[in-house]
Each structure stands twice: as C-alpha cells, then as structure tokens.
Chains A and B, each alone.
Chain A
Amino acid sequence: MIHIQNVSHTFTIGKKGSEKKIPVLKNISFEVAKGEIISIVGKSGSGKSTLLNAVAGFLKPEEGSIIIQGKETTTLTESEYAIFRSENIGFIFQNFQLMPGLTAFENIELPLKIQGIDKHRRFEIVNKIIRKVGLETVFDHYPNELSGGQQQRVCIARALITNPPIILADEPTGNLDSETEQEILQLIALLNESMDITFIIITHDEEVANIAHRKFLMHDGVLKEVVQHAV
C-alpha cells in the first residue's frame, strides 16, 4: 500500500550567504499494509509532520522514493498530485481546518464538489457519511456553532467522503478533551475495521499512539519502529 524508501530531506534556514542546512528526515524507510493503522510519535521538531507532508505530497523530499498504491508520487506534478490526493488520501487535521463560511454539510461535500460529482449524488453520499459519524442533528450548523468533537467529526467525515484507501491524521485529538478524544479514537478504530482504511497517525499522545497496529518513534529525523501492538 505505502512503500517509503530512503527518504531524506533538509531545510535551509538563514539569510542568503549564511544559509544553514538542517536535516529533518534522515534516510527513512518503512512500509504500511492495507487496512493497517500506524502511529508516529515524537517530540516537537523531530520531523514527524514533515514526513506526513512528504507522504501527502505537500513537500517533495530531496532524496528517496514514496510509492503509494503502486504509484511513485515524488515525480508527480502538482496538478497530478491534486488528482491523486483527491482519489487516494483523506486528511484529519489537529485544528480541523473547516471552511468557516460553510455548514457542516457543505464542508463535508466540498471534496465531492472538487471531484465534479453532481448535486443529487453528493446529497446521497454526504447523508450516508453524516449518519456514520453521528452528525445528523448538527449537519446544518456552521463550524463556530459546533463543539471541538463535532468539528473533528466533520473533519473525519470530509476525509472519508471520497472513500480514500488512506487517511493521514496529524494530531487528530490534539485540540480535544479526554472524553471527546476517546470518542474520536473509537470512531477511527471503527472506520478502520468496517471500511478497511489505512491510517497514518502523527501524535505525541501515547494513548492515541496505542490504537495503532504498529508504533514508530521519530527522533531527530530518524524513524524507528518501537512496539508491535496486537489490536
């Protein structure tokens, strides 16, 4: 499903003439199987978000290969990656990243609009997913009228709406209280089980990391598998 081989990347900081190169990803290799949940834990600045951005295609690594669904993604153009992303990858963000001017329903249907799906079909698909994530009572609310948990459910529903085989989650419970965190983790586990979706979760929360089948530790740009979980 996902093959990452020898991926390295450096950031350049400082003014021209006195630039400094900081390696953020150092020769990273790992594989993720279909339907697997993996978590990547690490301190701030360890490079875990950079790795996620490289998998998402927001950043082109200087070296290495990232093969997703059998396709080498590091050579894709921005337009090609946009299409690839809309068909294969969903995102769950720490701060939800919802459009403030759109209702929950409209936020969820946005990826379908981008794909050019007609209104009637969108209506059917969105209603189905709204029931699945439990947003039946608040689908017409704007983001500022929703609780943190509800906003994250909208974000998850938006990630699921195009039925992608992979979901990338960056600190999915980072802005939630512990009770809501549990609800979201249960939802992720349920979706993984019922829809066979592959999850890559970035977190520094051990409890979140523990729902994964495999756990990785990121330290100074180096990735190591630390624990094998049986779920």
Chain B
Amino acid sequence: MLFRDQIDFVRQHVKRNRMRVFTTILATTMGCAFLIVLASIAFGLQESLKNDILSDSAVTKIEVYGNDEKGIDQKAVKAIPNVQALVETTQFNEPLTANVKLENRSGSGEMVFTNFKEQQKAKIKLSAGTYPTKADEIIVGYNLGQNLLTKKEEQSAKEEGKKEEKNNKGYQHSLLGKTISLSFTLENEEEHTKVRQYKIVGIGEKPSKEWAMDTSIQISDAMKSNILNDYNGIVDKKVQEKDFYNVSYNAYATDMEAVKGVLKKLKAMNLSVYSVTEQLDQLNVFFLALKVGLIFVGTIAVLIASIGIFNTMTMAVTERTREIGVMKAIGAGPKLIQRLFIMESAYIGVLGTVIAIIISYIISFLANLALPKILDAVISDGGIEEAGIRFSTIPWELVVIASLISIGVAVLSGWRPARKATKIDVIQALHQE
C-alpha cells in the first residue's frame, strides 16, 4: 500500500471515531504540554542566570592571579596558544580619591591604569569614541557624567540627604571630546596632587545591570609613573606604593571554546584563575540534573496519557475485527495491518504533540508576561520585572525531546493492539456481525 493511501486510511478511521480520538488526543496534549511547560521552567531559570552571569563580563575573559609576590610572567601568559590579549589593570584604593573637574562641575571617579593596545586586542567594546592613542587621552565610564555636579546641585543633593547616586542628573551632554582636569586628594582633602588635563576620546559600555554605575577613569599605563610621583608627594613616606594600588590581570581567549584550554595551561603555570565559564559549567551541571528530573516527572504525565491511547487502539482493533479479516482475505499482510494501527496511534501522538507545543509556547509567553507582575505585586521590594527574569523558556531542544518522548510513547502504546490485530483469525473475523 502506498504511504499516501496508508495516511488516507488512518484519517478515515480517525474521522469515524472522532469523539474517542479527540479525547485521546486531548489527553496526549495535556501530558505533553505538562512535560514541556514543567521543563521550560528549568530552561528559563538557567537562561536568566546565564544571562546574568554573562552580562557581568566577557565570556572570553579569564582573571589571572599570581600565587606569589612576583606576580605573573606576562610574556609566558601571552605565549599560550589562543590567548589574544593580556590586560594589566592598576586600580587605586581608598583613601586616595580622584577629583574630576569639567567646566563648572566637579565629582569623583575610580581611576585605573590600563594598556589600551591590549584592550583593543581583547576587543573590549566602547559605547562611543575610540581607544586613546596619546598618553593624555582617556576613556571614562558610561556614568561618569552623572557624578559631575555643579555646587548648587551638590548642595541640594546634600540637603535631600540620602539621595541615591542613580538619581543624579549631573552633566547631561556627551563627554566625548571634552577635556577634564584630574587630581588626587587624601581622605582629609588637605593635600592635592598636581592637576593634569586629559582628553576624553572614548566612553565605556553601558553597564548591563540597571542599578550598576560605571564612573571609572581609564588612563594609559604610560602615565602611571608620573602619577605615582604625584602620589608619593602627598602620601606618608612610610606608605609604600603597593599599599595604595593593586594590579590585576585579565587574559582574553580568542573565543569561548578556547577558554577551557587556556585555563588548563594557566593552571599548569601555577597561577590562580577564574573564568565565568567555570561558573557556567557548575550552573549547567545543576540545571542539567534539574531538567532531567523535570522531564522525568513530565514523562509520567505522558505515560498516563498513553493508557488512553492503548485503550483507544485496543477498542479500535476489537471494533474492526471484521474489517481486519476482510483486509487479510483480500491480500493485506500482517505487516501492513500492524503498520496501519501503529500509524493510527502515531497520528494521535503527533497531533497531540503539535497541539501541546503550540499551547506550551502560549503558556510560556503568558507566564513570562504575567508572573513577574504578580510577584512584584505580592513581594513589596520585588523588582523581578525590572531584572528581566524569565520563568519559562522553550528551546528547540526541549521541543525535540518532548516530541520524541510523546510520539515514542504513543507508538509504543499502539504496538500491542497492532500486534493483536495481526493475529486476528480471518475465519472468525468474517463470521462477526
């Protein structure tokens, strides 16, 4: 029998028992949709956490720490295959404060020395401008402008007391191309370092988190020795350089797949390392276990639905005993009879699964739309909607897994009734009314 004729044959019989088949499809749909929606929670939460982790830093970034006072051998690290850049960053600690002045505004920022060439090699993105090429050119953080206040603004902010930084309007225009004055003071603000002028040629990327503020001032490490001299002029001679700044190293791999190899090499060099991918690996293991568990629970629902398919198919075979006898008498072999019945249960499985997938996507969409609002209304300091947490995600892998389980179980449910159909005795079947 041609495949198209087999499909027609199955559809004719499904049509004849519309109501019974409909309820069986409904049960399959409910089972499969339950499986997908349940597992989608694990997928959704994993995605939310993954995005949260990845938004903090680049996936290819590896933090490298020396295990002794000598620090790290930069040449050796750069020589590791697939390391495209090694960025050394020097960050200044309290009690030293960087004072920034622009026009009639002033404020503070966190000052760091860095190697712009290496940053460029690492492909660290800017929201505007370019990387500095001269020693007096700098990159500033996306939110530095908000920290630059006029005296009047500063006064009113003090009056309002605990006004959050985030609410400061500060400098409203672009800082790109502006020249700022920069000096440093100790905590008591009694002594100032020499005031130096810097031209802003680049603005850092906007922080991925709504609440985060980037007020950094990135200066070329070519200026480091000059500024250290300025420092040494105002700090207590007993305080050593290394006490007021710390150096950190970030290696950048060529791509995400190369990170593991680079990490291995760095560890072999007796260096301490941290990469977001290691955190992701742990997260993935946890969520893999969670997903397997939830899919298992969902499969139980599909198995319950399969009882319905088994029942429907057994009834179909019993009701069609005479027809099966006639089919056999006019030349249908046992394999064809078996195939037709398995196709019928597969038809129920496929239709149920397709409807379940559509319903699951609708439920997932509605859950992601409504749940954050509901939870924010219930929990006073929620902020769930703002945080962009996804409660349910249905990736194609989940659709494939659920479809295979659902259709597979449907086919298995129809297997025994189909076998029973092949064993029907033609003589007895033809004597049935």
Contact = CB atoms under 8 A, between A and B. Distances in A.
A53 B329 CA distance: 10
A158 B327 CA distance: 12
Determine which residue in B12, B13, B322, B330 has the highest number of CB atoms from chain A within 10 A of its CB, and name it. B330
A115 B5 CA distance: 11
B105 interface: no
Contact of B331 (A97, A102, A111): A111
B329 A78 contact: no
B430 interface: yes
A158 B330 contact: yes
Interface string A105-119: 000001101111010
B328 A82 contact: yes
Interface string A93-133: 10001010110000000110111101000000000000000
B283 interface: no
Contacts of B333: 78-79, 82-83
- Residue of A82, A83, A99, A162 contacting most chain B CB atoms (<10 Å): A82
A134 B266 CA distance: 91
Given A101-B12, A113-B5, A116-B2, A79 B331 contact: no
A99 B334 contact: no
B327 A114 contact: yes
Interface string B315-328: 00000001101111
B334 A78 contact: yes
Nearest to A102: B12
Contacts of B12: 101-102
A91 B427 contact: no
Q: Is the interface of B mostly helix, strand, loop or mixed?
A: helix
B16 interface: yes
Contacts, number: 64
Contacts of A118: 2
A97 B2 contact: no
B276 interface: no
Contact of A56 (B9, B327, B329, B425): B329
B2 A91 contact: no
B334 A58 contact: no
A114 B336 contact: yes
A145 to B, nearest CB: 17
Given A113-B1, A114-B327, A97 B332 contact: no
B335 interface: yes
A167 B16 CA distance: 31
Interface in B295-349: 322-323, 325-336
Interface string B122-137: 0000000000000000
A26 interface: no
B2 A79 contact: no
B412 interface: no
Contact of A97 (B13, B326, B425, B427): B326
A210 interface: no
B426 interface: yes
B16 A86 contact: no
A58 B427 contact: yes
Contact of B16 (A83, A101, A110, A111): A101
Contacts of B5: 113, 116
A227 interface: no
Nearest to A159: B330
Given A59-B427, A97-B430, A99-B323, A114 B331 contact: yes
Given A53-B427, A97-B322, A91 B335 contact: no
Contact of A82 (B325, B331, B425): B331
A11 B358 CA distance: 57
A85 interface: yes
Interface of B: 1-2, 5, 9, 12-13, 16, 322-323, 325-336, 425-427, 430
Q: Top 4 A-B pairs ranked by shortest CB distance?
A: A86-B331, A82-B333, A58-B426, A79-B333
24 contacts: A56-B329, A58-B425, A58-B426, A78-B333, A79-B333, A85-B330, A85-B331, A87-B331, A91-B329, A97-B322, A97-B326, A97-B329, A97-B430, A99-B326, A110-B327, A110-B330, A113-B5, A114-B327, A114-B330, A114-B331, A116-B1, A116-B5, A118-B2, A162-B331
Interface of A: 53, 56, 58-59, 78-79, 82-83, 85-87, 91, 93, 97, 99, 101-102, 110-111, 113-116, 118, 158, 162
